[in-house]
A and B are shown apart, each in its own frame.
Chain A
Amino acid sequence: MELDDLKGLINQKLMEGSPNITENNFTDLLKGKASSVISKIKKSLWFEIACCALVVPLFIGIALFSSHSSLKIYFGLFGAIFIPFTLIFFYLLKKINEFDQSVLPIKENLQQLIKMLEDFTRRYFQFNMALLPICFLVALFLGYNEKEPIAVLDNIFDKLKVNKSIYIGFIVGYSIAIVFGLVYLTKWYIRKLYGKYIDQLKLLLTELKED
């Protein structure tokens, strides 16, 4: 029972049950939506870019027009950090579009896809993590050194009636918990979205590299 003896029959069997697709059906298929990982990443990148486009002018506006120096620095830094990330997201999108239009040999295609997914997940993680030090350390530093009182915050602390050491202890503990929680959660989320897929692609590549 050799493959060569059954070539013709296997070829026939591979066509069994396949409907004939007309040119009109193909026209409809071209209007459909892709469900590949690449199209999901593209959607995700467009979402990040849209968020950046919304947030950058808003934060820069707050930085320019706020009367509090801490808010100026805080939102100014936020706005500034979003700009290079917007550019990085555009760069990744350009690379993904180029890859999407290319027809490479299977091995090279797998290598490029793995590299692209790893690049994307790394940048996504960096983007999320870059905001943490600003969120906590800069906010703490600036809030502590703010000369002009911020009425809204002062009202909250007055109502809670906590003394300064408890307040600082709580803020430090809260910051540490949130930082570790966010690092772990972001890693888990990225792994859940793309981790298994990347592993499967790596297995295929390993198989191709075997002699």
Chain B
Amino acid sequence: MDYKEKDFIQLLNQNQKIIHKVCNLYMNWQEDKEDLFQEITLQAWKAYSQFRGEAKFSTWLYRVALNTAITFFRKDKKNAFIDTVSEMPELTVPMDRDPIEDKTKAMYEAIAALSKIDKAIVMLYLEDYSYAEISEIIGITANNIAVKMNRIKVKLREATLKNFERI
């Protein structure tokens, strides 16, 4: 293993949470998550020679991971929302329900049902990136991001309420 590869693996190891989060958000099935994890790792390695350190490694990795996840398609039936729900780990204990956990689950389901682009925006928002930073990663203006984020929040509020009532 050469110095560059060792350096890269070390950075990837320190930032693996990013890849896990992207895989969990974009894929529903374990096998697909593993495939996407591998694809992101390989894609990051291919592009690593172009990484100049102008941005933080984590920001650069987000860009690679989101680009890969957005252009990574699996058979439609596997991505159906119903699978997202059935695949999600059960948080609640029927006899002793925690409303916060139920709300989190309802919100998580709502996020899982968003489009690929909206998921990317939400993911970066959850990581506390500013609208200006999100706009650099997505490639549209910060104003546009703000408008989209407001719409997403409304969409999530409504979907979460519905999901919460169902849970």
* Residue ranges of A at the interface with B (Cβ–Cβ < 8 Å): 1-3, 6-7, 9-11, 13-18, 20-23, 26-27, 29-30, 32, 34-37, 100-110, 113, 197, 200-201, 204, 207-208, 211
B142 at interface by CB-CB < 8 Å: no
Which label, helix, strand, loop or mixed, suits the secondary structure of the B interface?
helix
What are the 4 closest A-B residue pairs judged by CB atoms, nearest first?
A105-B139, A107-B139, A18-B20, A9-B104
A-B contact pairs, 13 of them (CB 8 A): A3-B153, A9-B100, A18-B23, A26-B9, A29-B42, A30-B41, A104-B67, A105-B136, A106-B137, A108-B139, A109-B139, A207-B117, A208-B139
Q: Which residues of A contact B125 (CB under 8 A)?
A: 3
A14 and B9 contact, CB distance less than 8 A = no
B25 at interface by CB-CB < 8 Å: yes
In angstroms, Cα B15 to Cα A21, docked, is 11
Q: Which residues of B, 41-66, contact A by the 8 Å Cβ criterion?
A: 41-43, 45-47, 49-51, 60, 63-64, 66
B144 at interface by CB-CB < 8 Å: yes
In angstroms, Cα B109 to Cα A13, docked, is 11
Q: Which residues of A contact B86 (CB under 8 A)?
A: none
A1-B157, A36-B68 known, 14 other contacts, Cβ within 8 Å: A1-B164, A10-B108, A13-B104, A13-B108, A20-B16, A27-B1, A30-B9, A30-B42, A34-B38, A36-B43, A101-B50, A103-B51, A204-B70, A211-B144
Q: A1-B164, A10-B107 given as contacts; is B71 within 8 A of A36 (CB)?
A: yes
* Residue ranges of B at the interface with A (Cβ–Cβ < 8 Å): 1, 5, 9-10, 12-13, 16-17, 20-21, 23-25, 35, 37-39, 41-43, 45-47, 49-51, 60, 63-64, 66-68, 70-73, 89, 100, 103-108, 111, 115-117, 120, 122, 125-127, 136-140, 144, 147, 152-153, 156-157, 160-161, 164
A106 and B139 contact, CB distance less than 8 A = yes
B160 and A23 contact, CB distance less than 8 A = no
Q: A107-B140, A110-B71 given as contacts; is B42 within 8 A of A34 (CB)?
A: yes
In angstroms, Cα B67 to Cα A109, docked, is 7
B161 and A200 contact, CB distance less than 8 A = no
Name the one of B67, B107, B144 contacting A106, with C-beta atoms under 8 angstroms. Answer: B67
A37 and B71 contact, CB distance less than 8 A = yes
Q: Which residues of A contact B24 (CB under 8 A)?
A: 14-18
A201 and B103 contact, CB distance less than 8 A = no
User: Nearest chain-A residue to B161 (Cβ)?
Assistant: A1
B40 to chain A, nearest CB (A): 9
Q: Which residues of B contact A201 (CB under 8 A)?
A: 71
Name the one of B16, B104, B105, B115 contacting A207, with C-beta atoms under 8 angstroms. Answer: B115
Q: Which residues of B contact A9 (CB under 8 A)?
A: 100, 104
A21 and B13 contact, CB distance less than 8 A = yes
B71 and A113 contact, CB distance less than 8 A = yes
A97 to chain B, nearest CB (A): 9
Name the one of A21, A107, A109 contacting B16, with C-beta atoms under 8 angstroms. Answer: A21
A16 to chain B, nearest CB (A): 6
Name the one of B5, B10, B41, B63 contacting A105, with C-beta atoms under 8 angstroms. Answer: B63
B139 to chain A, nearest CB (A): 3
Name the one of A6, A14, A34, A106 contacting B70, with C-beta atoms under 8 angstroms. Answer: A106
A134 to chain B, nearest CB (A): 37
A17, A34, A106, A208: most-surrounded residue (chain B CB, <10 A) = A106
